[in-house]
Chain A
Amino acid sequence: MDKDAILTDIVQNGGKENFGLLVNKYKDQLYSFIYYSVKDEDAAGDILQDSFLKAFEHLSEYKYREEGKFKAWLFTIARNKITDHFRSVSKIVQLDEEDVFPSKDNTASAALGNISLKEINDFILRLPREQGEVILLRQYLSFKEIAAVLGCPLGTVLARMSRGLKKLHQFMGEDYAL
């Protein structure tokens, strides 16, 4: 039984104060994921709080059935909240290839090595959602856990990751640093 499982057990059996330990453990990771997904500090803070609150409610109402997968479950809640957020503000914009890839000038400058981590970061945020999401999630979860969060097979997760990285590389320039 891992530490999370013990803590969730305690919270479910009335030790509500111990939920704070889980919050402190995961808040930065979860916030980073949410922040990079919604690109808005205020909204990210709200979603973070809502996610923890929902997790807490589920735990106190004995609706939590994911023993040993608390982290993945928490990220699933956050992901659903992010989807709700996009729905509510109608921000879902399907970027087509021309939007995703920068102009040839940028590609050229990237190939010359003038690319910064900030630019790479920006580009990840502009990838199609399902690809960018996998790259983001892999910062905090294993591929198996991501498959559980997204509800798809491991192969699909790896394929999305691979496609995302390919696009990222196209942005950086084909021969960049190889």
Chain B
Amino acid sequence: MHSENNRENKSENKETFAEGRRREDCAQDHNQNHSQTFEQKALLYAYGELPAEEEKNFLLHLNGCKICQRVLFVSSAARASLSEVKAPAVCLDKILLRSAQIDAAKDAAAQKRPFAAWLRWAFKGGAGADLRPAPAVRLTSFAAVLAAAMLIFAGVFFYKGGYGGTKGIYAVSVSQQDFLNSMYNNLDSIETEVEGLETYISQFQ
């Protein structure tokens, strides 16, 4: 009886040992080689995202791998526990209503502000009208600002040297200017040659 018990214990121990080794091997396999890869594959497989060509290899691996089996089991339990909750009869009307309100507010704002603020200040009435100076003062100051702006523009324009040249607002670079000058010189020499030829031909006429 005692020896039978011993034998049973031994066989149990052997099985436990073998199971342990298998787990160890599997864990080693996971830890050393592809632990993350296989766990990630298990996740992708659990949610139907593992590519078909990898499925067969994974299933072969899964057969002896407790870790991947655990991933599949726990993920299915998690999925089952998170059933979809019905949304309350929201919100569509409220959303459309709100959008209509937003549109209305935008339209109102657009109607309220047909001019830019400085134009309203110079020419039109509106909020704060009683705080503004008299129309003549406003128009004079508006004209003064306009004149100042034109003077500044004219100053810059003339400082830059007008339209052309190497400094003007349509300025060309020095090298471009050299090129143009040489072209003009060539044209001059061609004209001189043509005139000479014309004189020569006229002698025979």
Contacts and interface: CB of A to CB of B under 8 A. Distances in A.
A57 interface: yes
Contacts of A169: 70, 73-74
Interface in A5-49: 16-17, 19-20, 23-24, 27-32, 35-36, 41, 45, 48-49
Given A45-B90, A49-B95, A60-B99, A165 B81 contact: no
28 contacts: A19-B95, A27-B87, A31-B87, A32-B84, A36-B82, A45-B87, A48-B91, A52-B91, A53-B94, A53-B99, A56-B98, A60-B102, A120-B78, A124-B82, A139-B82, A139-B84, A142-B47, A143-B47, A158-B43, A161-B43, A162-B40, A162-B71, A165-B43, A165-B74, A169-B73, A169-B74, A172-B74, A177-B73
A155 interface: yes
Nearest to A42: B88
B85 interface: yes
Interface string A78-121: 00000000000000000000000000000000000000011011
B195 interface: no
A30 B86 CA distance: 10
Contact of A31 (B44, B70, B86): B86
A129 interface: no
A149 interface: no
A120 B99 CA distance: 40
A138 interface: yes
Interface string B137-153: 00000000000000000
A135 interface: yes
A136 B96 contact: no
A149 B9 CA distance: 55
B185 to A, nearest CB: 57
A168 B74 contact: yes
Contacts of A135: 78, 82
Contacts of B96: 16-17, 19-20
Nearest to B85: A32
The size class of the interface chain B forms with chain A is 20 to 34
A159 interface: yes
Given A16-B96, A19-B95, A165-B71, A124 B78 contact: yes
Nearest to B44: A143
Nearest to A165: B74
B79 A121 contact: no
Contacts of B94: 49, 53
A1 interface: no
Q: Which of A16, A52, A53, A162 has the most CB of B within 10 A?
A: A162
Given A138-B47, A162-B39, A168-B74, A28 B84 contact: yes
A37 to B, nearest CB: 11
Contacts of B80: 117, 120
A36 B81 CA distance: 11
Contacts of B82: 32, 36, 121, 124, 135-136, 139
Nearest to B96: A16
Nearest to B82: A139
B40 A158 contact: yes
A178 to B, nearest CB: 6
Given A57-B102, A169-B70, A178-B69, A48 B87 contact: yes
